[in-house]
Structure 1
Amino acid sequence: MNQRHWKSLLLEPGRQWVLLSGGCYVLACVLPAYELQIMGKKDVILGLQCLMMFPLFWWWANPLYLVAAIAYCVDYRRTSAVFGVLAMLLALHFEFFVLGEGQSVRTGCMFWTVSFQIVFLNAVWHLWLDRKRQLESLSSSDPV
């Protein structure tokens, strides 16, 4: 089996999107994620604090994202697309359905969701390109 160095996996064409996605995820951790208003007092929750909220349903978007990013880096694009869309849907579920009255999304939460969207859309894009190349190679090899 051909073993490649981990740096070459990240530096191949198309991998920069995974790095951009990772950068968005790191930004999401250090920026304010959402704001609560309890008894007239506003409290801002950082993204890193949200990572500590383990048992909550939407928290599972984080390990799904990790699997999607790793799967993309090792060329399992379908797996990456599946896990990426699951992570993205959980994040969007949090943004649109979990936050109630007196709560609002901040920049960190937006970067969190964008990081999932980048991995998912990139995986789907490359799946489409691979399929297009397959069809072109089949049509060019067919005798007329």
Structure 2
Amino acid sequence: MVATTEPQDADRLGFASGLVVQEFGWGEDVDDDLREAIEEITQTDLVDEDYDDVCDGVILWWREEDGDLTDALVDIQTVLDDGGIIWIFTRKPGRDGHVGHSEIQEAGTTAGLHATTTFAIAPDWSATKLATRGRGK
């Protein structure tokens, strides 16, 4: 029996009905159950990398061989509306393409973000939420 992502797992991502979520890094290995659960929550299709307007949230499927994570995170921030949500989905430890949490933290810090939450989101994928660094007062 193959484990699947339940919609309540996607609920943990903080998306809501009507939000526009842009997807980066799609590949044949992504978790389609998770994608469908996000679309069910937002009541709209995920938009792809060619979407040319601001969005409310981003999901980034990222694998070790995908290049420079810092560059990707800097680029992603340009498409987000203020307060937008960024989630990176990375392969779990022991799977091909796994990216360590320290690499995500380092890339996020360099891009002006910080990792706030990480958890298993699908059978082969972990989710890490990135948020903008607050300005000191």
Question: Shared fold by TM > 0.5?
Answer: no
Which structure has the larger Rg? 1
TM-score by length of 2: 0.28
TM-score by length of 1: 0.27
Could you say which structure has the greater relative contact order, defined with CA pairs below 8 angstroms and 6 or more residues apart? 1
Which structure's residues are more often helix, by fraction? 1
Which structure's residues are more often strand, by fraction? 2
